[in-house]
Amino acid sequence: MRAGGRQGGCAPLPEDQAEIPAHRANGPAASRIIVATAPITANRPQNRNGANMTSDNLKTPTIALGTWAWGDSGETGNGYFGSPLTRAGLEEIADKAHAAGFTLWDTAIVYGMGRSETVLGEVLKRYARSDYQLSTKFNPRIAGPGDDPVGDMLEQSLTNLGTDYIDLYWIHNPADVARWTPHLIPLLKSGKVRHVGVSNHNLSEIKLADQILGEAGFRVEAVQNHYSLLYRSSEHAGILDHCRNQGISFFAYMVLEQGALTGKYSLENPLPQGSSRAKTYNGMLPQLKALTDKLTAIGQSQDAAAPDVATAWAIAKGTTPIIGVTKPRYIDGLVRASSITLTSDDIAELEALADAANVNTRGFWEQEM
Ligand SMILES: NC(=O)c1ccc[n+]([C@@H]2O[C@H](COP(=O)([O-])OP(=O)(O)OC[C@H]3O[C@@H](n4cnc5c(N)ncnc54)[C@H](OP(=O)(O)O)[C@@H]3O)[C@@H](O)[C@H]2O)c1
C-alpha cells in the first residue's frame, strides 16, 4: 500500500502557481538513446501534402534541462521551490550546460506564470538559436476565450522566449484531448512548432492524441510524465512499453523528486521552509533515508553522488530525464550521470528500497495512470 499521498485531482491553485495542469523499459540505455548532435529541427521530412512531417526526426538528448524552478527567479518569485536564483547564476548554469553538450531546455508558460520562459529566453540570448532546443507547453487550464487559444498561448510563449519557433511543444495536461489536440496541427504546418508531445496523459489519451495527429500526417513524438524511483506509474501502466514499441521518446520529470532524492535534505536540513515542495516532501524524508543512502553508496563506487545515480537509473530505464537545474555544479552531476553503469542488481535493489519507502509523490496536478 502507498500512503501519505499528495493531493490528487485538480484543486484550485494560486494564480502564480507553477504547475497548473491537472495540468523503456529495462536494459542498457545506450542502444536506445540518440544523443542530439544537431538541432532538433534539422532536415524535417514532409508528408504527402507538403506539411512538415515530424516522424523519425525528433533527436532526443540523453538528459534535458528543467526550468520550473527558474519561475522562482526575479524579485517576486513564486516560492514554489524556495530557491534563491540570480540571473548571473542562471547564466553560469547555461554556459556550463552548453559546454557539456546539454542544450534541450524544458519550460512551460505556467512556470512562475511566464517568468521561467522569460528568464530562460533572456539567458539563452548569448547563443545562436540553432545551438539550443526549446520545449514548452500549452496549458488547457489557462486557455483564453478566443478562436485559437492554443495559437494564442503559443504566441505568448514565443514572445516570452524571444523566438519564432518551438522545437518541442506539449499539451501540458489531458483536460480534453479531442478538443485541444487538433489545434496543434496548424502550428506544426506553419513551422512555429517543430515537434509535439503530450504530458500527464494516460495510455488511452496518448493513443487518442496520436490518432488525431495521425489523421493529418503528424504524430505524438514524445510523452512527458512524472517518473522517478518513487513514482513509476507510467511503467506500471504500460506507457514506457508503448513508447518504446512506437518509437516515442519518454521524458521523465521529477526524477529527483524536487530534491528529496538527492540525499542532501533531511529532518535536520529540510527543504526550504515555506516552499510548496517542503510541504510535500519534508514529512517523508525519514522514509527515504535507506533509499538515498543506497544511491549515495552506489555513487561512491563510481565517483558520483546520489542525484547522479537517480538520474542514471532513469536513463537505464530508457527514458530521457528532465533534471531541474538550479546551480552550476549540478551540470557536473549530469555529466557523471551520463556515464554511470548500473547493474540489474543495482536497479532491482533501488526499486525495492523505493517501494519499501511506501510514499506516494503524485503531484496534485497528476491523474492516476
Ligand atoms: N510536465 C509536467 O507536468 C512537469 C511537472 C514537473 C516538472 N516538469 C519538468 O521537469 C523538470 C524537473 O522537475 P523539477 O525541477 O520539478 O524537479 P527535479 O528535477 O526532480 O528536482 C530538481 C531539484 O533537485 C535539486 N538538484 C538537482 N540537481 C541536483 C544535484 N546534482 N545535486 C543536488 N541537488 C540537485 C535542486 O534542488 P535545490 O534547488 O534545492 O538545490 C533542484 O531544484 C522541471 O523543471 C520541469 O521542466 C514537468
pLDDT digits (tens, 9 = 90+) for 268-308: 999 998 888 999 999 999 999 999 999 999 999 999 999 99
* Direct distance between the N- and C-terminal alpha carbons of the chain, in angstroms, rounded to an integer: 16
Give yes or no for residue 195 having a pLDDT over 90.
yes
Task: Convert the pLDDT of each residue in 144-157 to its tens digit.
Answer: 999 999 999 999 99
Task: Convert the pLDDT of each residue in 55-66 to its tens digit.
Answer: 446 889 999 999
Q: What is the pLDDT of residue 31?
A: 29
Q: What is the pLDDT of residue 45?
A: 39
Give yes or no for residue 162 having a pLDDT over 90.
yes
Alpha helix locations (H) across 114-202?
115-124, 149-161, 177-180, 184-190
For ligand 1, the distance from its centroid to the CA atom of residue 257, given in whole angstroms, is: 7
For ligand 1, the distance from its centroid to the CA atom of residue 218, given in whole angstroms, is: 30
Which residue has the least CA distance to atom 26 on ligand 1?
259
CA 308 to chain CA centroid, Å, is 16
Q: What is the pLDDT of residue 50?
A: 41
User: Under the phi-then-psi rule, with left for phi > 0, alpha for psi from -120 to 50, and beta for the rest, what region is 360?
Assistant: beta
Contacts (Cβ under 8 Å, ≥6 apart) of 159 = none
Atom in ligand 1 nearest the alpha carbon of residue 260: 24
On whether the CB atoms of residues 171 and 147 are closer than 8 A, the answer is no
Residue 170: closest CA among 204, 116, 157, 160: 157
Give residues (CB < 6 A) around ligand 1.
Answer: 19, 21, 23, 66-69, 81, 83, 106, 172, 199-200, 224, 253-259, 262, 264, 307, 322-324, 326-327, 330, 333
Q: What is the pLDDT of residue 76?
A: 45
For ligand 1, the distance from its centroid to the CA atom of residue 259, given in whole angstroms, is: 7
Give the residue carrying C-alpha cell 514565443: 158
Mean pLDDT of 335-352: 97
d(CA 97, CA 91): 10
For ligand 1, the distance from its centroid to the CA atom of residue 230, given in whole angstroms, is: 14
On whether the CB atoms of residues 280 and 339 are closer than 8 A, the answer is no
Task: Convert the pLDDT of each residue in 257-277 to its tens digit.
Answer: 999 999 999 999 999 988 889
d(CA 307, CA 142): 33
d(CA 163, CA 68): 19
244-261 residues labelled b (16+ CB within 10 A) or e (exposed): beeebbbbbbbbbbbbbb
Q: What is the pLDDT of residue 84?
A: 81
Q: What is the pLDDT of residue 40?
A: 33
Which residue has the least CA distance to atom 47 on ligand 1?
66
Relative to beta strand 133-138, strand 249-253 is unpaired
Secondary structure (3-state) at 312? helix
Q: Who has greater pLDDT, 81 or 332?
A: 332
Mean pLDDT of 64-84: 79
d(CA 22, CA 162): 28
Give yes or no for residue 177 having a pLDDT over 50.
yes
Q: Who has greater pLDDT, 139 or 45?
A: 139
Atom in ligand 1 nearest the alpha carbon of residue 258: 21
Q: Who has greater pLDDT, 7 or 183?
A: 183
Which residue has the least CA distance to atom 28 on ligand 1?
330
Q: What is the pLDDT of residue 94?
A: 98
- Domains belonging to the chain, first-starting first, are 64-357 (3.20.20.100)
Atom in ligand 1 nearest the alpha carbon of residue 272: 40
On whether the CB atoms of residues 72 and 83 are closer than 8 A, the answer is yes
Q: What is the pLDDT of residue 5?
A: 30
CA atoms within 13 A on the CB side of 86: 4
For ligand 1, the distance from its centroid to the CA atom of residue 59, given in whole angstroms, is: 22
Mean pLDDT over each residue of the chain, to the nearest integer = 86
For ligand 1, the distance from its centroid to the CA atom of residue 271, given in whole angstroms, is: 13
d(CA 57, CA 44): 6
Q: What is the pLDDT of residue 49?
A: 41
Atom in ligand 1 nearest the alpha carbon of residue 224: 1
Mean pLDDT of 300-320: 97
For ligand 1, the distance from its centroid to the CA atom of residue 81, given in whole angstroms, is: 9
For ligand 1, the distance from its centroid to the CA atom of residue 324, given in whole angstroms, is: 3
Atom in ligand 1 nearest the alpha carbon of residue 329: 31
Give the amino acid at 189: K
136 to each of 139, 246, 255, 291, how far by Cα in Å?
10, 23, 18, 32
